[in-house]
C-alpha cells in the first residue's frame, strides 16, 4: 500500500472551471484582455496566431518562413510556452487554459447529456495525426491548406463576437468556411460527449502538444494509473473526454498522446489508483503511447 | 489487427483531409497587403469563384512608413458589386492601443505601422434576389458608423477587373490595390497561395 501514498490526492484540479473562465477572459471577446493589453489585437488572427507560423508553404524562402514567425511572434511565444508547460506538467494548457477547448467544454456542460454525441469508438490518434500530417504537408507541396479554412482559433472567438453583434465577426459566418467551422465546433465541441472531440481530432496545436506530452512523459508530471490499486472497474474510461484510457492485457493505461490532465478520471476513481505525478516506478505506474 | 485498424483510419483521415485542403469554397478569400506611398504591394490577390450568391473578402495588412493620414477604401471595376466594409476591433475597447477608425469607407487616423484587418462583404449588383441577404447583413451591424452600403463604380473604371483599392484621402494617391480574381474565369486561374 505504500505506493499509493506516492500518488497525489484526488481532486487535484478542483478549480479547473475557474482556470477555464480565466482563459476566456484573457483571450475571448468581448474583452480579449491579454491580446488587447499586449499587441492590441482583437483575435488570434494576427500576431497571436498559434497555428500557421510553423507551416512551410510551397515556394517559401527561408526568410519568408521566419518572417511568418515575426508576424505571429505572440503566437510563437504562446506555443513555446505551451510546449514548455507540457514538457514538465502535461497538457495543462489544453485542459485548463485553452479558451477554444475551454469554451467548447463549458458549452457542452450545459448541453443535454442525453443528446451528446459519443465519439469514443473512433480512435482519436490516427485521425488526429492523419489530419495533422496533411495540415503540415499540404501547403508545402502546394495542395492547399487546412490552416485558415478549418480554424478553431478563428471560429470560436467569432462566435462570441457575433453574439455581441460585431459586424466583422458576423461576416465571418456569412461564408461557406464560416458555416462549416460553426458546424464543426457544434458537432465536435458543444454536442460532443465531454466537449473535446474537436481538440482530440482536429486541433493542430493539440497534436503538437500531444507529441510533446508523450515523448517527455518520463520527465514530467502526468496523470498515471497505479495498476496495483486499480480494481479494473472501468469508470475512468467512461468519463475521459478524450478517450485516452484503454484496457489491454496489462490493465488500464493512459495514452499520453491524448490525455489532457483534467482530473475527471481521478474524481471517479474510488480506488485512488489514479494520480498526477512523475513516473517514479515504471513497473507500477503505467503509461502508454500509441504508435501510428 | 489493431495496427491494421489504425492504419486504415489514418489513411482515411489523410484522404479526407487532402480533399478538404485542396477544395476551395470560392465565396471567400484572404489577401495580405502593404500600404505605402509608393503604391503598396499585395502579396496575392483575392481568389474567388464566379456564380456565388455573395462573397467575403478578408484583407489584412500593414501601413508602411512614412504614410500617415486618412485612407479611402473602394471596390472598383467589373463586375459591379454592392458591398459593405467592416473593421475588426475589440467589442470592449480598453483604449490601451490607438487604432484607426472606420466610418463607411473612410479609414481615419491611420499611422505608419498600423495593422489593418478589414472584411468586405459583397454581392453582385445585378442579383436582385440577394438584396435581402445584403440588407440583413447590414442590419446586423449595431453601429452604423462602422458599416455602410456601397456600390462599386464599374462605369468609372470601364471594364477594368475588380479590385480593392486604398487611396490617400487628402491627395487621392494610390496606396494599395488588390485584384479580386475570379479563378474559374481566368485562363490560368489556379492556386496562387490564397488560403481563405
B54-103 pLDDT, tens digit each: 999 999 999 999 999 999 999 999 899 999 999 988 999 999 999 999 99
Domains of chain A, CATH where assigned = 2-7+221-288 (3.30.70.20), 16-213 (no CATH)
Q: How many Cβ atoms from other residues are within 10 Å of residue A52's Cβ?
A: 20
Residues of chain A with confidence (pLDDT) below 50 = 1-9, 282-285, 289-292
Q: Which residues of B touch A151 (CB under 8 A)?
A: none
Measured torsion, CA atoms of residues B138, B140, B144, B145, in degrees rounded to the nearest 10: -90
Query: What is the reported pLDDT for B139?
Result: 39
Query: What is the reported pLDDT for B1?
Result: 53
Rounded alpha-carbon distances, angstroms, from residue A17 to A21, A263, A265, B188: 6, 12, 16, 53
CA distance A256 to A127: 16
Nearest residue to B176 via CA among B15, B87, B63: B63
A7-26 pLDDT, tens digit each: 444 566 788 999 999 999 99
- B65-124 residues touching A, CB cutoff 8 A: 84, 86-94, 96-97, 99, 115, 117, 119, 121
Backbone φ and ψ for B161, nearest 5 degrees, come out as -65, 160
Query: What is the reported pLDDT for B93?
Result: 93
Domain extent listing, chain B:
26-185
Query: What is the reported pLDDT for B141?
Result: 38
Task: Give the CATH fold of the B26-185 domain.
Answer: Immunoglobulin-like (2.60.40)
Residues paired with residue B106 on neighbouring β-strands, in sequence order: B72, B103
Which parts of chain A fold into alpha helices (H)? 16-27, 33-38, 62-71, 73-89, 92, 99-109, 124-141, 152-163, 167-172, 176-185, 197-202, 204-215, 235-239, 264-268
Backbone φ and ψ for A159, nearest 5 degrees, come out as -65, -45
Search chain B and give the residue with CA nearest A35: B90
B175: which 3 cell numbers? 496606396
The DSSP element (H or E) to which B12 belongs, if any, is helix B2-22
pTM for this entry:
0.86
The DSSP element (H or E) to which B154 belongs, if any, is helix B154-157
Angle, in degrees to the nearest 10, between helices A176-185 and A152-163: 90
In order along its 196 residues, chain B shows pLDDT tens digits of 568 999 999 999 999 999 999 999 999 999 999 999 999 999 889 999 999 999 999 999 999 999 999 999 999 998 999 999 999 889 999 999 999 999 999 999 999 999 999 999 999 987 544 444 444 444 333 343 444 567 666 544 457 899 999 999 999 999 999 999 998 887 544 444 444 4
Q: Which residues of B touch A37 (CB under 8 A)?
A: 94, 96
* Average pLDDT score over chain A: 91
Amino acid at each position: 500500500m505504500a505506493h499509493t501514498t506516492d500518488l497525489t490526492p484526488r481532486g487535484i484540479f478542483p478549480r479547473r472551471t475557474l482556470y477555464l473562465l480565466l482563459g476566456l477572459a484573457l483571450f475571448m471577446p468581448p474583452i480579449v484582455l491579454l491580446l488587447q493589453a499586449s499587441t492590441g489585437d482583437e483575435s488570434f488572427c494576427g500576431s497571436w496566431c498559434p497555428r500557421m507560423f510553423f507551416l512551410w508553404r510551397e515556394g517559401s524562402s527561408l526568410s519568408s518562413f521566419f518572417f511568418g514567425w515575426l508576424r505571429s511572434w505572440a503566437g510563437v511565444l504562446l506555443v513555446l510556452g505551451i510546449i514548455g508547460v507540457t514538457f514538465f506538467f502535461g497538457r495543462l494548457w489544453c485542459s485548463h487554459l485553452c479558451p477554444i477547448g475551454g469554451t467548447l467544454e463549458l458549452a457542452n456542460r450545459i448541453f443535454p447529456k442525453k443528446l451528446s454525441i459519443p465519439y469514443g469508438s473512433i480512435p482519436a490518434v490516427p485521425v488526429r495525426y492523419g489530419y495533422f500530417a496533411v495540415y503540415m504537408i499540404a501547403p508545402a507541396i502546394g495542395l492547399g491548406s487546412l490552416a485558415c479554412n478549418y480554424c478553431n482559433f478563428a471560429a470560436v472567438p467569432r462566435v462570441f463576437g457575433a453574439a455581441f453583434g460585431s459586424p466583422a465577426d458576423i461576416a465571418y459566418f456569412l461564408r461557406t468556411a464560416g458555416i462549416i467551422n460553426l458546424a464543426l465546433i457544434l458537432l465536435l465541441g458543444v454536442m460532443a460527449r465531454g466537449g473535446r472531440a474537436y481538440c482530440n481530432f482536429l486541433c493542430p496545436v493539440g497534436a503538437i502538444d500531444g507529441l510533446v506530452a508523450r515523448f517527455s512523459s518520463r520527465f514530467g508530471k502526468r496523470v498515471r494509473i497505479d495498476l496495483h490499486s486499480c480494481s479494473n472497474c472501468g469508470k475512468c474510461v467512461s468519463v475521459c473526454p478524450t478517450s485516452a484510457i484503454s484496457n489491454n492485457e496489462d490493465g488500464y493505461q493512459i495514452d499520453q498522446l491524448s490525455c489532457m490532465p483534467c482530473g475527471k478520471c481521478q474524481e471517479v476513481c474510488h480506488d485512488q489508483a489514479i494520480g498526477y505525478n512523475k513516473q517514479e516506478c515504471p513497473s507500477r505506474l503505467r503509461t502508454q503511447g500509441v504508435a501510428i | 489487427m489493431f495496427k491494421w485498424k489504425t492504419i486504415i483510419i489514418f489513411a482515411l483521415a489523410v484522404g479526407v483531409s487532402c480533399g478538404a485542403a485542396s477544395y476551395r469554397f470560392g465565396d471567400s478569400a484572404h489577401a495580405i497587403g502593404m500600404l505605402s506611398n509608393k503604391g503598396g504591394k499585395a502579396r496575392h490577390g483575392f481568389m474567388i469563384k464566379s456564380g456565388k450568391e455573395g462573397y467575403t473578402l478578408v484583407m489584412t495588412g500593414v501601413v508602411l512608413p512614412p504614410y500617415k493620414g486618412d485612407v479611402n477604401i473602394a471596390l472598383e471595376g467589373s463586375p459591379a458589386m454592392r458591398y459593405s466594409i467592416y473593421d475588426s476591433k475589440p467589442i470592449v475597447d480598453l483604449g490601451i492601443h490607438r487604432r484607426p477608425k472606420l466610418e463607411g469607407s473612410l479609414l481615419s487616423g491611420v499611422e505608419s505601422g498600423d495593422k489593418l484587418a478589414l472584411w468586405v462583404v459583397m454581392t453582385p449588383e445585378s442579383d436582385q434576389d440577394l438584396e435581402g441577404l445584403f440588407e440583413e447583413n447590414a442590419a446586423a451591424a449595431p453601429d452604423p458608423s462602422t458599416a455602410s452600403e456601397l456600390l462599386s463604380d464599374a462605369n468609372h473604371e470601364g471594364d477594368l477587373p475588380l479590385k480593392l483599392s486604398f487611396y490617400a484621402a487628402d491627395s487621392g494617391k494610390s496606396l494599395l490595390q488588390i485584384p479580386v480574381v475570379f479563378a474559374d474565369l481566368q485562363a490560368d486561374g489556379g492556386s496562387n497561395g490564397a488560403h481563405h
